[in-house]
Structure formats: structure tokens, C-alpha cells
């Protein structure tokens, strides 16, 4: 939980927040390399969206906040939803999320039931394989 020092968030925070037509409240102060607002309280850096959420809504009970608007600079609590890191990742547009939503392999075979196999990469991570495609590769290679 973020300690504000007193009950109100300093005006210096809100001077760096600009409402947009789409409903986002864009934090224009310091930003991280990934585009999240960065706000300092007593020489400790916090993500601006977490500061705004805790100040206006209350403590964040989950591990992370998901930007439903997909704008990392947005601090509007109405655009933020507490969730687990896994859920936040799976809602995203990154490779893990995109691949997990696939229901068929590139050749159209279903990635489910008896046609689905899990294997480990060299680094230990699991990945899904299409059993029918494995069979086709084995026949062609034999």
C-alpha cells in the first residue's frame, strides 16, 4: 500500500493528469521505458496508475492492475481493474496471450483432446504441439 503522508494526494500529481475525449486520464509526468507513468513520493518511485487507484478507490488487493483501455499512461481508476499477473498477461496482445487463444494449429488441426501434446523447450517452458502435424512430419522424414 502506498503511503501518501497525509490524506490528500498533492496537487503536483493532478497537475500532470490530463483528461482525454476517450475517457483516459493521461499522466504526462515522468514515464518508465515501457510507458507507465512514474510518480515519486518521498524519493520512492511508484507507478502513477497505482497511486491514483489507491488514492481514489482504495488498496489494491490483487497483484496488479490491468489497463482495460490498453493505455499505459492512463490513471483513470475506471479504466483499471485489479487482477492476477497471469490474467493480465492473458488479456494482453503479447505472444503468450495470442498463442494461448489459438484453437487450431497453422494447418487447421484442432489443438485439443487427443490431438494436443505438451512438450518442454530447452529453457524448461511448456509449449503445445499438434499431434497430427507431428505424425505428418514423421511420415515425410521417414
CA–CA distances in Å: residue 45 to residues 42, 53, 139, 141 = 8, 15, 58, 56
Q: Which pLDDT tens digit goes with each residue over 47-97?
A: 999 999 998 999 998 889 999 999 999 999 999 999 998 889 888 888 878
Q: What is the largest CA-CA distance in the chain?
A: 73
Which one, of 93, 102, 36, 42, lies nearest residue 64 by Cα?
A: 36
What is the structure's pLDDT at 93? 83
Which one, of 118, 18, 124, 8, lies nearest residue 74 by Cα?
A: 18
Residue 38 clears pLDDT 90, i.e. is over it: yes
Given pLDDT bands bounded at 50, 70 and 90, which one contains residue 31?
Answer: very high
Query: Can you tell me the distance from the alpha carbon of 21 to that of 119, in angstroms, rounded to the nearest whole number?
Result: 47
**Residues in Cβ contact with 38 at an 8 Å cutoff, skipping those fewer than 6 apart:** 29, 30, 31, 32, 45, 46, 47, 48
Residue 9 clears pLDDT 90, i.e. is over it: no
Q: How much of the chain, in percent, has pLDDT values that exceed 90?
A: 55
Amino acid at each position: 500500500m502506498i503511503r501518501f503522508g497525509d490524506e490528500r494526494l498533492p496537487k503536483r500529481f493532478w497537475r500532470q493528469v490530463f483528461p482525454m475525449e476517450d475517457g483516459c486520464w493521461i499522466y504526462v509526468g515522468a514515464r518508465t521505458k515501457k510507458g507507465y507513468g512514474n510518480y515519486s513520493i518521498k524519493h520512492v518511485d511508484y507507478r502513477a496508475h497505482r497511486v491514483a487507484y489507491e488514492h481514489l478507490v482504495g488498496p489494491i488487493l490483487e497483484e496488479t492492475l490491468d489497463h482495460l483501455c490498453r493505455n499505459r499512461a492512463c490513471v483513470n481508476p475506471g479504466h483499471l481493474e485489479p487482477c492476477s499477473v497471469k490474467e493480465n498477461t492473458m488479456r494482453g496482445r503479447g505472444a503468450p496471450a495470442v498463442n494461448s487463444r489459438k484453437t487450431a494449429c497453422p494447418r487447421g488441426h484442432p489443438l485439443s483432446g487427443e490431438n494436443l501434446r505438451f512438450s518442454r523447450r530447452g529453457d524448461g517452458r511448456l509449449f503445445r504441439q499438434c499431434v497430427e502435424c507431428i505424425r505428418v512430419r514423421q511420415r515425410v522424414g521417414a
